[in-house]
Amino acid sequence: MASFSHVSAMMTLVHGSCFPYVSAVARPNHKPITTRRGATTIAANVTIPAEEVDVYDSTAKGSKLAAWTSVRQERWEGAVDVDGHVPHWLKGTYLRNGPGVWNVGDHSFRHLFDGYATLVGLHFEDGRVILSHRQIESDAYRSAMKNNRIQYREFSEAPRPDNFLAYVSELASLFSGASLTDNSNTGVVKLGDGRVVCLTETIKGSMEINPDTLETIGRFDYSDELGGLIHSAHPVVTESEFLTLIPDLLRPGYLVVRMEAGSNERKAIGRVDCSGSSSSPGWVHSFSVTENYIIVPEMPLRYCPGNLLRAEPTPLYKFQWQPEDGAYMHVMCKHSGKIVASVEVPLFVTFHFINAYEEVDDNGELSEIIVDCCEHNADTTILDNLRLNNLRTYSGMDVLLDARLGRFSIPMDGTKRGKLESALNPDKHGRGIDMSTINPTYLGKKHRYVYACCAQRPCNFPNTLTKIDLEKKTAKSWHEHGAVPSEPFFVARPGAIEEDDGVAISVVSDKNGEGYAVILDGKTFEEIARAKFPYGLPYGLHGCWVPKA
């Protein structure tokens, strides 16, 4: 377990007396970043004085914002100073995953989602905080660093074949999945049995890690014969199970699967056939469940087999927009695998579903299912706007596309059409919203509060931490000029009764290349503590909480 004594023991070992509380290891082929507080030691006991180390990546074109800049060292761990008061009940580790390295040799990745996974850990104990970060040792990351070029197909880029024969063999390996990335840069989940797994959209990119050291233990192998190359980046994980969707590109539809805690074997619950005439299933980055049902979205932004084969990116990358085939929501009974409703809904673009729950009528009969999501006004442009060049070259203009907290109502009386409306006036949260969390106790149940990144305009990316009250239809935001906060992760206070009794934790990438974590009170949404990092961290995506045993 990471603890303050563990950190100082490690320091003595690695750094001797030169820098007594920090552990740092440089990324292969990169000069290490310094920590502002002193010198940096690289693996071979070479120490670089602080003033000689370039903190910022050259690709950031003068920008000192940490968010879109590759992290320069492979790992670091140390205690950090805290301003304010971290509640003493907050005991455990917050883990956050995300793409943090976008440079391979001289090559700069194009898209936010291409970056190699950087895991961040914040260990809380008795009001104190230890920060750590470490690269996930996927084959894709290791081989890219070793060869100074990408070796696997990432979200928007593929290795350039040297000749025609290499091109043919690359296409063949695409069908077997051999050329797909295992760069698990999207999320991190704690399984019911305590194992911690980092995930992305390729199934082979499921990687078990040690939550104390952030060390990569190895690939999480699914022991079944279900196959498939891709799955939802966001499984629904509880103490007892792991549910996910495996899109079927050959026979358009989705396999809904369940893996029991303690097992590596996924079992099929059922299958959803696509409703539209489309030749391909909709992209399922995430999905929601209620207490009894799994809600399978069929988004008009669909996987595109043609684009999957292309090495060069298209504006929609591996996807295609097919409004003519409609948008649908399918409701599957968790226990029987039967589809109990399939309704057509207005067109939508959503990365992240927030939660879903069942509504009953006056007779106690199930009347409708409510599904909340971060909805990008059915505009696919958001995907291409997440190109790094775009994120790095912010001119001060208000260019963030509008988004809203979308609420689907799925009638359970056989009606064939569902509704999609804004759950509150989007102006209340600056017409931007993504990267949402709720109190996990409310998973599948009626929730009142949503924590998300929203907007204070002008901006080019969500720049606030916002608490949304869906009952009062209000929003309260935390904002700091020029800073980019990541997903506000809600941790409930042990023993809490009220839904918002807890804290929201977010890692912030600051405008001067600096970084810190903020702890916001879940009720008042006021900042109660700030842990200042000795260096800025790149933007990250999703997190999880590992309570201290």
Ligand X SMILES: CC(/C=C/C=O)=C\C=C\C=O
Least gap, CB of 319 to ligand L7D5B6GP (angstroms)? 7
Least gap, CB of 403 to ligand X (angstroms)? 5
User: In this complex, which beta carbon is closest to ligand L7D5B6GP, that of residue 201 or of residue 514?
Assistant: 201
- Is 351 near ligand X (CB under 6 A)? yes
Q: Distance between CA atoms of 166 and 106, rounded to whole angstroms?
A: 22
Number of neighbours of residue 549 by Cβ within 10 angstroms? 7
Least gap, CB of 159 to ligand L7D5B6GP (angstroms)? 12
- Is 96 near ligand L7D5B6GP (CB under 6 A)? no
Residue 11 parent element (H or E): helix 4-15
| Residue of 541, 543, 544, 545 interacting with ligand X (CB under 6 A) | 541
Tell whether residue 234 is among the known ligand binding residues.
yes
> In the 8-state DSSP scheme, what is residue 283?
P
Binding site partner of 462, from ligand X, ligand L7D5B6GP, none, Cβ cut-off 5-8 A by kind: ligand X
∠ CA 35-139-145, rounded to 5°: 45
Stretch that binds ligand L7D5B6GP, among 68-76, 200-208, 335-343, 450-458 (CB under 6 A): 200-208
User: In this complex, which beta carbon is closest to ligand L7D5B6GP, that of residue 230 or of residue 517?
Assistant: 230
Least gap, CB of 234 to ligand X (angstroms)? 8
Between the alpha carbon of residue 39 and those of residues 6, 28, 244, 246, 512, the distances in Å are 21, 18, 45, 48, 20
Q: At a CB cut-off of 8 Å and minimum separation 6, what does 93 contact?
A: 2, 121, 122, 123, 124, 211, 212, 545, 546, 548
Q: Distance between CA atoms of 66 and 309, rounded to whole angstroms?
A: 33
Least gap, CB of 117 to ligand X (angstroms)? 13
Q: Distance between CA atoms of 169 and 183, rounded to whole angstroms?
A: 21
Stretch that binds ligand L7D5B6GP, among 38-46, 121-129, 196-204, 354-362 (CB under 6 A): 196-204
Between the alpha carbon of residue 514 and those of residues 166, 390, 511, 532, 541, the distances in Å are 43, 21, 7, 8, 18
DSSP secondary structure letters along 202-238: BGGG-EEE-TTT--EEEE----SS---SB--SS-EE-
Tell whether residue 479 is among the known ligand binding residues.
no
With contact defined as beta carbons under 8 Å apart, do 186 and 197 qualify?
no
How many residues of this chain bind ligand X (CB under 6 A)? Answer: 8
Tell whether residue 285 is among the known ligand binding residues.
yes
∠ CA 406-485-491, rounded to 5°: 75
- Is 7 near ligand X (CB under 6 A)? no
- Is 518 near ligand L7D5B6GP (CB under 6 A)? no
- Is 114 near ligand X (CB under 6 A)? no
| Residue of 196, 230, 289, 452 interacting with ligand L7D5B6GP (CB under 6 A) | 230
Stretch that binds ligand L7D5B6GP, among 81-89, 199-207, 396-404, 471-479 (CB under 6 A): 199-207
202 class by beta-carbon count within 10 Å (0-12 exposed, 13-18 middle, 19+ buried): buried
Binding site partner of 434, from ligand L7D5B6GP, ligand X, none, Cβ cut-off 5-8 A by kind: ligand X
- Is 418 near ligand X (CB under 6 A)? no
Q: Which residues are 357's β-sheet partners?
A: 370
Q: Distance between CA atoms of 196 and 113, rounded to whole angstroms?
A: 21
Least gap, CB of 287 to ligand X (angstroms)? 13
How many residues of this chain bind ligand L7D5B6GP (CB under 6 A)? Answer: 16
User: In this complex, which beta carbon is closest to ligand X, that of residue 191 or of residue 435?
Assistant: 435
Binding site partner of 185, from ligand L7D5B6GP, ligand X, none, Cβ cut-off 5-8 A by kind: ligand L7D5B6GP
- Is 185 near ligand L7D5B6GP (CB under 6 A)? yes
Binding site partner of 293, from ligand X, ligand L7D5B6GP, none, Cβ cut-off 5-8 A by kind: none
Nearest residue to the partner ligand X, using Cβ? 434
Q: Where are the alpha helices (DSSP H) in 295-387?
A: 305-309, 381-385
- Is 434 near ligand X (CB under 6 A)? yes
Least gap, CB of 237 to ligand L7D5B6GP (angstroms)? 17
Binding site partner of 288, from ligand L7D5B6GP, ligand X, none, Cβ cut-off 5-8 A by kind: none
- For residue 57, give the 3-state DSSP assignment: coil
- Is 432 near ligand X (CB under 6 A)? yes
Q: Omega of the bond prior to 458 within 30 degrees of 0, cis?
A: yes
Tell whether residue 542 is among the known ligand binding residues.
yes
| Residue of 234, 258, 318, 407 interacting with ligand L7D5B6GP (CB under 6 A) | 318
Q: Hunting for tokens 């700069």 — which residue is that?
A: 108
CB-based burial, 502-517: b 16+ in 10 Å, e otherwise = bbbbbbbbbbebbbbb
- Is 244 near ligand L7D5B6GP (CB under 6 A)? no
Q: Hunting for tokens 């939660």 — which residue is that?
A: 355
Residue 6 parent element (H or E): helix 4-15
Instruction: Provide the sign of the torsion angle of the four alpha carbons 479, 480, 485, 488, taken in this order.
Output: negative
Residues 100-159 that bind ligand L7D5B6GP (CB under 6 A): 113, 153-155
Four-CA torsion 325, 409, 189, 515, nearest 10 degrees: 90
Binding letters toward ligand X, positions 450-489, x by CB under 6 A: ------------x---------------------------
- Is 186 near ligand L7D5B6GP (CB under 6 A)? yes
Summarize as ranges the residues that interact with ligand X (CB under 6 A).
186, 351, 382, 403, 432, 434, 462, 541
Binding residues: 234, 285, 352, 542
Binding stretches for ligand L7D5B6GP (CB under 6 A): 113, 153-155, 180-181, 185-186, 200-202, 230, 233, 308, 318, 541
Return binding residues for Fe cation: 234, 285, 352, 542
